[in-house]
Structure 1
Amino acid sequence: MSSSSTALRELQRDLENKANDLSKLQKDIAKNHQVRKKYTIQLGENELVLKELDLLNEDANVYKLIGPVLVKQDLAEANANVRKRIEYISAELKRLDSSLQDLEEKQHSKREAILKVQQRIQAGKAKA
């Protein structure tokens, strides 16, 4: 009887560890979603800026806000900077999507592992 109760305690500990791991994964997924949302907003803003820059004539004055100061900037340079920023943000979004997919797969496997341990605990209680 004591060996079965020891095995049951081990299973309970294993279940707690897996549940803690799952909780950490869920926090990582939530953080990933927050960062992804921020990048998505930035991407939208930069695409809007690019559209505005495309509407300007080549001789138009373009200013960039640096701290509290507006600094005159060449239109071609501003265009290139915004395109680079869009490229960077898009790459980050792809990286975050890949990371999110990986985290969700880990979360799925943790849930399955937890389910198996719970079933073993139920079977152990049924025998006792």
Structure 2
Amino acid sequence: MSSSSALRELQHELETKANDLSKLQKEIAKNHQVRKKYTVQLGENELVLKELDLLNEDANVFKLIGPVLVKQDLAEAKANVRKRIDYISAELKRLDGTLQDLEEKQNSKKDAVSI
């Protein structure tokens, strides 16, 4: 009887570890999805900045706010895009750190499950 209960306990422990591993894998997938979105946004904003750099200082620049185009100063538009690029880059760096932590946890969970 004791070997049967020990076996059930071991099975329960293994199931718990497997569930934890599954949760970590879902978090990693979500991290990759968010990171992909930020990477696309970074590329778009870098392209916008390159386009703004091509303009003359007296060029008209408009910003879309809701359904309305509002005239904006070129220097202000460049500053806003640079801030956005800085923010997105910081978020990508943060996501990379989180991903590294999650992958380390995943590897330790895999080791625990495989033992």
TM-score by length of 2: 0.99
Query: Percent identity, aligned pairs only?
Result: 84
Q: CA deviation at 1:100?
A: 0.3
Q: Which runs of 4+ in 1 moved over 4 A?
A: none
Q: CA deviation at 1:54?
A: 0.3
2:75 corresponding residue in structure 1: 76
Q: CA deviation at 1:77?
A: 0.2
Larger radius of gyration: 1
Higher relative CO (Cα under 8 Å, sequence separation at least 6) belongs to 1
C-alpha distance in structure 1 between counterparts of 2:47 and 2:83, whole Å: 14
1:122 corresponding residue in structure 2: none
**In the alignment, structure 1 residue 48 sits paired with structure 2 residue 35:** no
C-alpha distance in structure 2 between counterparts of 1:35 and 1:115, whole Å: 30
Unpaired segments ≥5 residues, structure 1: 117-128
Q: How does 1:34-113 map to 2 (within 5 A)?
A: 34-113=33-112
3-state SS of paired residue (2:46): helix
Partner deviation per Cα, 1:99-128 (whole Å, 9 max, x = no partner): 000000000000000011xxxxxxxxxxxx
- The count of aligned residue pairs is 115
Please tell me the root mean square deviation across aligned C-alpha atoms, in Å.
Answer: 0.4
Unpaired segments ≥5 residues, structure 2: none
C-alpha distance in structure 1 between counterparts of 2:85 and 2:32, whole Å: 19
C-alpha distance in structure 1 between counterparts of 2:63 and 2:21, whole Å: 45
C-alpha distance in structure 1 between counterparts of 2:62 and 2:36, whole Å: 28
